[in-house]
Amino acid sequence: MSSNHLNELSEEQKEFQKLARSFSTREIAGKAAHFDETAELPREILQKAFEAGLTSVMAPDSVGGLCLPLFETVLIQEELAAGCSAIGGYIETSAIAMLPILAQNKAENGNRFIQPLMDELNFAGFAESMLDTASGDEHLPTVKISAKEVELSGRVRVVAGNECKWFALKAKDSSGKQSIIIVDGQADGLKKIGNVNRLGRKCLVTVDMELNAVKQPAENVVGTAGGATEIMSFVLPRAYLLFAASAIGIARSALEHSITYSKERKTFGKPIGDHQAVAFMMSDMAKDIEAAKLLTYKGCKLVDGGENDFETARLAKVFAQEAAMRIATDAVQIFGGYGYSREYPVEKLMRDAKTYQVTSGTSQRQLADIGRNALALAAR
Given 65, 96, 122, which residue is the final one in a domain?
A: 122
Assess whether 247 and 366 both reside in one domain.
yes
Torsion angle of alpha carbons 179, 184, 187, 193, nearest 10°?
A: 80
HEC sequence for 126-162: EEHHHCCCCCCCCCCCEEEECCCEEEEEEEEEEECCC
What's the CA gap between 84 and 36, in Å, rounded?
Answer: 9
In whole angstroms, what separates CA 192 from the centre of its chain?
22
Q: What is the pLDDT of residue 373?
A: 74
Assess whether 17 and 116 both reside in one domain.
yes
Q: What is the pLDDT of residue 1?
A: 38
Assess whether 99 and 161 both reside in one domain.
no
Q: Strands of the chain (E only): list them.
A: 123-127, 142-145, 149-159, 164-172, 178-184, 190-195, 206-217, 221-222, 266-267, 270-271
Assess whether 173 and 248 both reside in one domain.
no
* First-to-last C-alpha distance (Å) of the chain: 42
Whole-angstrom Cα Rg for the chain: 21
246 and 200 Cβ atoms separated by less than 8 Å: no
* Chunked mean pLDDT (size 10), the chain, 380 residues: 59 96 98 96 98 96 94 98 98 98 87 95 96 80 96 97 96 96 97 94 96 97 95 97 98 96 80 82 96 97 95 95 97 89 92 91 72 72
Q: What is the pLDDT of residue 370?
A: 72
Assess whether 255 and 217 both reside in one domain.
no
Assess whether 255 and 313 both reside in one domain.
yes
Q: Give 312-356 pLDDT, tens digit per residue.
A: 999 999 999 999 999 999 999 999 888 888 888 999 999 999 999
Assess whether 365 and 246 both reside in one domain.
yes
Q: What is the pLDDT of residue 3?
A: 44
Residue 173 DSSP symbol: -
Q: Residue 111: phi, psi to the nearest 5?
A: -65, -40
Q: Where residue 13 sits, what CATH number does that domain have?
A: 1.10.540.10
Assess whether 39 and 65 both reside in one domain.
yes
Q: Where residue 310 sits, what CATH number does that domain have?
A: 1.20.140.10
Q: What is the pLDDT of residue 7?
A: 52
What domain range is 349 assigned to? 229-379
Q: Give 80-91 pLDDT, tens digit per residue.
A: 999 999 999 999
Q: What is the pLDDT of residue 2?
A: 41
Tell me how many domains the chain contains.
3
Mention every residue, 6+ apart, whose C-beta is less than 8 A from residue 89. Answer: 81, 159, 160, 201, 204, 246
Q: Where residue 140 sits, what CATH number does that domain have?
A: 2.40.110.10
Assess whether 222 and 233 both reside in one domain.
no
Assess whether 143 and 72 both reside in one domain.
no
How far, CA to CA in Å, does 221 sit from each of 84, 108, 177, 275?
Answer: 33, 13, 13, 59
- Pairing mode, strands 221-222 and 178-184: antiparallel
Assess whether 343 and 244 both reside in one domain.
yes
- Residue 108 burial class via C-beta count within 10 angstroms: exposed 0-12, middle 13-18, buried 19 and up: exposed
CA nearest 258: which of 340, 342, 346?
346
Residue 200 DSSP symbol: S
Given 72, 100, 122, which residue is the final one in a domain?
A: 122
133 and 178 Cβ atoms separated by less than 8 Å: no
What's the CA gap between 142 and 129, in Å, rounded?
Answer: 13
What's the CA gap between 167 and 343, in Å, rounded?
Answer: 36
Given 227, 259, 288, which residue is the final one in a domain?
A: 227
Assess whether 282 and 192 both reside in one domain.
no
